[in-house]
Structure 1
Amino acid sequence: MPTRPRPLAHPVTRRALMASLLTLGLALGGCAQMATSPQDDQRKAAQTQVDQAISAEDPVALARARMALSQTLSGAARAEQQLGALETAIDAHELALARELYQQADTEGRWQAINARRAAIARGVGEWSAGNPDQARQTIHRIPLPLDADSERRRLILLGALEAELGNPLAAARYYAAVDDRLADDQRQENHARLWNRLTEVPTDRLRRAAEDTTDRQFAGWVQLALTYREQPGQIDRWMADHRSHPAIDSGFIEMLGAAAPVGQLTAPAATGPVAVLLPEGERYAGITREIRAGIEYARDNGALSSRELLFFDSGSDRIGANAAIEQAQRAGAALIIGPLLKDQLGALAALPADGPLAIALNTPPSGESLPVGVVSFSLSPEQDAAAVARRMWTDGHRRAAIFSADHRLGERTREAFANEFELLGGEVVDRARFASGQTDFSSELRDLLRVRTKSDDGPFQPIIRDDLDAIFLAASGDELTLVVPQLDYFGAEDLPRYGLGLAYNGNRDPRGDADKDGVIIPIAPLLLAGTAGPEHPLRITYEQAQLAGSLPRLFAFGADAAALAGRMDTLLQGGTLDGLTGELSVTATGVVERQPRWGQFRDGLIRPVDPTPGAALPDSITSPTRLPGTTSPDATMGGADQPTLTP
């Protein structure tokens, strides 16, 4: 039957044109030469942040740094920096940031004198930030043409995003197609994903009309590709032959499209045959491999793989080692492969033939890349944890949240995953702040984030915080939490519910080390809750087995669940769920294993289970995999032999 195009996940690349950043750097250089003033030190510090953002090719940091630099300037220089900050955010398609920066600007009256067309684009951003996307679209549409190349690129980006928000996906796709050849190479794949995702929303009959009516050959090619994928997926090769110079081919988008194949293209493994496990055995990864392997063997010994033979192969630490291990597994007649483990090795799975063994990769691919067709991806993804936190926060009744996150890549990824899910549910991220890696004093950031004030100027410090927050999400590691939480309490947020990531707990009892995390609720693997429970806990024996394997029981649980997935993949591909040691597992249409965790809270230095919120439920449109009639609850299925069990 016809296959509806599936949306593609945007690559998480945030890099803008290097040439543009260098140009900005040259343009900003004059600021450092200004006459000294009482603000000279502050200006130099802000200029340093700008220079660092340019050197790191980080447009998000650059946009924020330019706005910060503007606060040390006055007059036309201040206005130019603020206008430039907005434009930097637009160029990176960070449109939420652009709207945020507009709210911080205070020089709008000067922008017209700088450049009338640039000012009009910024005015449209302002109208959008005020909740008037239709008026913003009209403002930007009315800008007189022609525009310089940079302004035209920004105009098209904004119009595409505005049409998408206003529910006009075909119009949005047209703008994204129009802006494509104006983007840097490292931005085009992300733009193609946006374009494709809009086309997936267009009904088939409208796509057919668009294919007939459009005079733009490039956009017509996109529409025809969408129709081909939806109605005749076996004819993609013919489309490629007819569109040899199309951007979808030049950028490698067609390969990315293949990774979005429907779940029907994931083939259940053969009923018999060995399971091959590909793990790195070198000294660098010895500890990790030992614990994952122990978990796999534990699951095997408890029946997860039935009578299948289990074979282990050294995948080395690079693509060559992974290729060799895959070849060994195929020669051994493996019906199913678990691994490889390292991100850069996952591409080697593309060598597997269509009728070869099903592979369960133990990681997600590097940023901007996709898994080969027919491969399942299982990982302990912090982004999945962050999205789960958003859902938990919602079910706990919280609707307005703040985010306090580490200012590094993991902090950014989890911060965005949380915000996207929380806002999708209908919640509001009221405010957010970052702290630097290695920072120990968060006074300034927390004062600003919590809007701390005191009851009186005299007497002891009695802080009062803002009243528009229901909870706070702390995207931080365990070591960072031990520093942040006491300072939250000091500044008056001791009663503000706080949530964190699963990586904040390593799975081992440490009352002294965890004492300063009190009150934080985190997603947690069911196995780890057994560590602070009594001997009667159904997973206590399994937890003790994990402790014997090493110091990271979470990896033991990961290995055990990988084996359990392998043993029940045929049922999972039909929509079943698996109650595992890391959480409730299911397989999405694109082959990603989704993990619904349990919940724990730090109390007096120990992690304790937190029950579901009574009577709470997610909106009907956001649901986890449905449990089939007659199946038991996760608590019940954790009994017996202490092994992961499957919901049929």
Structure 2
Amino acid sequence: MPTRPSPLAHSVTRLALLATLLTLGGCAQMATSPQDDQRQAAQVEIDQAISAEDPAALARARMALSQTLAGAARAEQELNALETAIDAHELELARALYQQADTQARWDTINSRRAGIARGLGEWSSGNPEQARRTIHRLPLPLDPDSERRRLILLGALEAELGNPLTAARYYDAVDERLDDNARETNHARLWNLLTEVPADQLRREAEQTGNRQFAGWLELALTYRQQPGQIDRWTASHRGHPAIESGLVAMLGATEPMGQLTAPSQTGPVGVLLPEGERYAGITREIRAGIEYARDNGALGGREVLFYDSGSDRIGASAAIEQAQRAGVALIIGPLLKEQLGALAALPPGGPLAIALNSAPAGDSLPGGVVSFSLSPEQDAVAVAQRMWTDGHRRAAIFSADHQLGERTREAFANEFELLGGEVVDRARFASGQTDFSGELRTLLRVRTKSDDGPFQPIIRDDLDAIFLAASGDELALVVPQLDYFGAEELPRYGLGLAYNGNRDPRGDADKNGVIIPIAPLLLAGTAGPENPLRITYERAQLAGPLPRLFAFGADAAALAGRMEMLLQGGTLDGLTGELSVTPTGVVERQPRWGQFRQGLIQPVDPAPGAALPGSLTSPARLPGTTPPAGQDANDPSQPTSMP
């Protein structure tokens, strides 16, 4: 199969011509101005970016060069900068560069279709992805090959941001043949990650309905891996020549040692920690840092030096911190923390320091290869709740969730897992943010009726429910539970999210959460335990760090992961303060939590149901086969963490 020319290569000739013109201009006038010096510096950066095959650096250098030009040349160079970033799928950078551009009025005279794509990018950078999608959809077709490639890339990313993973995957499939081989590998990972977000029944319906055989193959692969992993060879035999085979994705799915892209850090060298130190994140950083320092002082890092760097609050700040850490010769990087900064880790060279990102990739995107992702994920909690509910013997569930983004994400994560396990989500209802009276919603969800029209209110609820999942915050939960009891559901088992408990004893504030079972970090259970609890001293140390001991535990476990990474990459597990930790072949840290239940205002430990076990069927494609799962956890336990700021 011939290698396709990359978008970066397409522009080298045009750049070389521009460089020649600039050089000739300099020969005619020996004296140089500050602007000439800036132009020369920008040209050097362009040459270096091309030599290093670094499209992000090339895009920034082109924008810098444009600032030294005027008129049509300036406009053309600004367009080039945006297009270079789009071609590399550096879309956050593309949006940032758009904000620096000032020649938009000239773009239509250069090329109206290129201008239309840039206009859509600008609308996205202004926080209006829906308008950006409409603008790009309305471009007159056909487009030249380069513009069509950028149109598809942007539409895929926009659909992913708007919460339409299946539609986004279609666009990434459509753009695939327009990419060079290296970009296709990344595109396949992005496409695959999107398909893991799509419910199995939706995958099946789309596979049956689509007329695109290649895309149908992707859908069937996702279904096969999710439900019949042993049949991947059969899928391969019937899809000869499919892009997923050519790029090696299918081989990775079936590999016996799928962790090859992750390498253990060297045994020497300091640990660099990247955290934002600005006022907005000061409290979060203080508690995470305290946890890391506590773990270091207790030998988790084997005596390695720990160096802290301010990562700022954007990608530029993270990039600068990574460069500082590399100059210091770090063997491990912990961080960055913010989602928008994770792309900066792509600059780490092969064989460079191993990075443990303190977050997960944004929806529809993926972390750079060789990076481990560790986060406190409400979605991961929701999946654990579905598994716990199943092992407790419940097969028919209702969902009552907050009508905001967190409620939506956790509701879907729970429903997908519970249904894949074989359970049935019988009904679901939402409540609005800030709502305090849930009478209407609960009456409908529980199908409340009364024993008699006369006399006191004696509610009777529907009889087709085994349990209810409450996707709500702690404050919301304290309002919902008493009303559940009032409407006759006091005997209905109820489950919630870990974020329903902040980790501090509060008998008055937690009294109205009675009976709710939640996944919980082992450290937090020590808060209501006696002094004999082995984590009690650590819990008290966490309380000294601040009001959120869960973040202290998060920092301590990040350091523990760094110190035991070699063992974890071989399939081992780690008993952490946030739960039992393991690393999937794709670099995601999975947490197996402990369990607690609110009783009379205090969180108390809950043991697993006797003889409980998950079914042997697959639950999600998020974990690749070939690793040993933590004790008591299914080998295919899904994990899609997306928490933290």
Q: TM-score range by the shorter chain?
A: 0.5 to 0.7
> Could you tell me whether the CA contact under 8 Å between 2:244 and 2:250 is conserved in 1?
no
1:479 maps onto 2:498 in alignment: no
Report the CA distance between 1:91 and its aligned residue: 8.3
Residue from 326, 331, 334 that aligns with 1:330: 326
**C-alpha displacement of 1:620:** 2.5
Query: Distance in 2 between the 1:514 and 1:428 partners?
Result: 30
Q: Secondary structure at the match of 2:264?
A: coil
Separation in structure 2 between the aligned mates of residue 314 and residue 193 of structure 1, nearest angstrom = 41
Per-residue deviation, 1:307: 1.6
Please name the residue that 1:229 is paired with: 248
1:342 corresponds in structure 2 to: 338
CA distances 1:380-431 after superposition (whole Å, capped 9, x unpaired): 0000000000111111111110000001111010001101111111111110
Runs (5+) with no aligned partner, structure 1: 1-14, 23-56, 63-87, 94-159, 181-190, 212-219, 234-256, 635-648
Q: Match of 1:434?
A: 430
TM-score (norm 2): 0.63
Distance of aligned partners of 1:525 and 1:422 in 2 relative to their CA distance in 1, 3 Å threshold: same
Distance 1:345 1:164, change over 3 A: closer
- Tell me which residue corresponds to 1:318: 314
Q: Are residues 1:564 and 2:599 paired?
A: no
Distance 1:16 1:179 in 2: 28
Match of 1:509 in 2: 505
- What is the alpha-carbon distance in structure 2 between the residues aligned to residue 176 and residue 311 of structure 1? 55
SS of 1:308's equivalent in the other structure is: coil
Q: Describe the shift of the 1:553–1:164 C-alpha distance in structure 2 as closer, same or farther (beyond 3 A).
A: closer
Q: Measure the CA separation in 2 of the matches of 1:586 and 1:577.
A: 5
- Counterpart contact for 2:207–2:219, Cα < 8 Å: no
Instruction: Give 1:197's aligned residue.
Output: 222
AA in 1 matched with 2:486: Y
In structure 2, relative to structure 1, the CA distance for the partners of 1:544 and 1:89 (3 Å cut) is closer
Q: Give the AA of the match of 2:514.
A: D
Flag the 1:16–1:493 CA change in 2: closer, same or farther, 3 A: farther
Q: 1:568 to 1:179 in 2, by over 3 A?
A: closer
2:273 is the alignment partner of 1:277: yes
Q: CA deviation at 1:264?
A: 1.2
- Which of 163, 184, 207 is the matching residue for 1:172? 207
| Equivalent residues of 1:207, 1:227 under 8 A apart | no
Which letter maps to 1:613?
A
Give yes or no for contact 1:173–1:195 (8 Å, CA) kept in 2.
Answer: no
CA-to-partner distance for each residue in 1:304-361, whole Å, 9 max, x for gaps?
0002111100000110100000001100101010000001000000000011000000
CA shift, 1:615, in A, is 1.5
Q: Is the 8 A contact 2:333 2:356 kept in 1?
A: yes
Q: Is the partner of 1:528 in helix, strand or coil?
A: helix
| 1:225 Cα deviation after fit | 4.3
Identify if the C-alpha distance between structure 1 residues 322 and 192 changes in structure 2 by more than 3 Å, giving closer, same or farther. farther
- Whether the aligned pair in 2 keeps the contact of 1:398 and 1:471 (CA below 8 Å) is yes
SS in 2 for 1:360: strand
Q: 1:574 deviation in Å?
A: 0.5
Separation of aligned partners in 1, 2:237 and 2:417:
33
Partner of 2:427, secondary structure, is strand
In structure 1, the residue corresponding to 2:212 is in which secondary structure?
A: helix
- What does residue 584 of structure 1 align with? 580
| Alignment correspondent of 2:606 | 610
C-alpha contact 1:172 1:198 (8 A) present in aligned 2: no
3-state secondary structure, aligned to 1:277: strand
Which residue does the alignment assign to 2:443?
447
Q: 1:390 to 1:327 in 2, by over 3 A?
A: same
Q: Give SS of 2:248's match.
A: helix
1:457-496 alignment to 2 at 5 Å?
Answer: 457-496=453-492
Over residues 164-196 of structure 1, what are the superposed CA-to-partner deviations in whole Å (9 max), with x where a residue is unaligned?
Answer: 649xxxx9399363697xxxxxxxxxx997476
The residue aligned with 1:359 is 355
Distance 2:378 2:327 in 1: 35
Kept in 1: contact 2:159–2:165 (CA 8 A): no
1:594 to 565, 581, 590: 590
Counterparts of 1:601 and 1:414 in 2: how far apart (Å)? Answer: 19
Q: Give aligned pairs, total.
A: 443
Report the counterpart of residue 70 of structure 2 in structure 1.
Answer: none
1:617 Cα offset (Å): 1.3
Task: Give the Å deviation of 1:226.
Answer: 2.0
1:24-53 CA-partner distances (Å, limit 9, x unpaired): xxxxxxxxxxxxxxxxxxxxxxxxxxxxxx
Give the residue type in structure 2 aligned to 1:504. A
Check 1:90–1:564 CA distance in 2 against 1; reply closer, same or farther (3 A cut). Answer: closer
Contact 2:582 2:629 in 1 (8 A): no
Taking a change above 3 Å as real, the CA distance of residues 210 and 346 of structure 1, as seen in their structure-2 partners, is closer
Letter paired with 2:340: D
Alpha-carbon separation, structure 1, partners of 2:267 and 2:129: 49
Tell me the distance in 1 between the aligned counterparts of 2:167 and 2:617.
Answer: 33
Change (3 A) 1:423 1:198: closer
Letter in 1 for 2:608: P
TM-fit CA distance, 1:369: 1.5
Is this contact kept in 2: 1:176–1:195, CA < 8 A?
no
User: Is 2:245–2:251's contact at 8 Å kept on the other side of the alignment?
Assistant: no
The one-letter code of the counterpart of 1:172 is A
Query: Cα–Cα, structure 1 residues 177 and 274, in superposed 2: closer, same or farther, change >3 Å?
Result: farther
Counterparts of residues 198-217 of structure 1 (less than 5 Å): 203-204=232-233, 207=236, 210-211=239-240
The superposition leaves residues 232-289 of structure 1 with CA deviations (integer Å, 9 ceiling, x where unpaired) of 89xxxxxxxxxxxxxxxxxxxxxxx9xxx94211011111111100000111111100
- Helix, strand or coil for the counterpart of 1:523? strand
SS at match of 2:445: helix
* 2:263 counterpart letter in structure 1: T
Q: Which amino acid aligns with 1:606?
A: L
Tell me if the contact between 2:277 and 2:311 (Cα under 8 Å) persists in the aligned partners: yes
Aligned counterpart for 1:423 among listed residues 419, 426, 440: 419
Residue in structure 1 matched with residue 526 of structure 2 by the alignment: 530
- One of 397, 400, 403 as aligned partner of 1:401: 397
- The DSSP-based 3-state class of the residue aligned with 1:541 is helix
**What residue ranges of structure 2 are gaps of 5+ in the alignment?**
1-127, 136-157, 170-198, 634-645
Distance 2:384 2:267 in 1: 34
The SS at the match of 2:430 is: strand
**Could you tell me how far apart the structure 2 residues matched to 1:231 and 1:396 are?**
36
Letter in 2 for 1:294: A
1:327 corresponds to which letter in structure 2?
E
Q: Which amino acid aligns with 1:282?
A: G
**Matched-pair contact (CA < 8 Å) for 1:161–1:172:** no
The answer as to whether partners of 2:522 and 2:577 remain within 8 angstroms in 1 is yes
The whole-number CA distance in structure 2 between the counterparts of 1:602 and 1:548 is: 24
Give secondary structure in 1 for the equivalent of 2:401. Answer: strand
Identity %: 75
CA contact (8 A) 1:266 1:591 kept: yes
Give CA deviations for 1:106-155 in whole Å, capped at 9, x if unaligned: xxxxxxxxxxxxxxxxxxxxxxxxxxxxxxxxxxxxxxxxxxxxxxxxxx
* 8 A contact 1:204–1:227 mirrored in 2: no
**Structure 1's 445 and 224: CA in aligned 2 closer, same or farther, altered over 3 A?**
closer
1:433 partner SS: strand
Residue type at the aligned position of 1:227? E
Q: Residues 173 and 196 of structure 1 are in contact (CA less than 8 Å); yes or no, is this contact kept in structure 2?
A: no
Instruction: Please tell me the residue identity of whatever aligns with 1:420.
Output: N
Report the Cα distance in structure 1 between the residues aligned to 2:532 and 2:540, rounded to whole angstroms: 13
Distance 2:132 2:542 in 1: 51
**1:279 counterpart letter in structure 2:** L
3-state SS of the aligned residue for 1:363?
coil
Instruction: Give the conservation status (yes or no) of the 8 Å contact 2:571–2:629.
Output: no
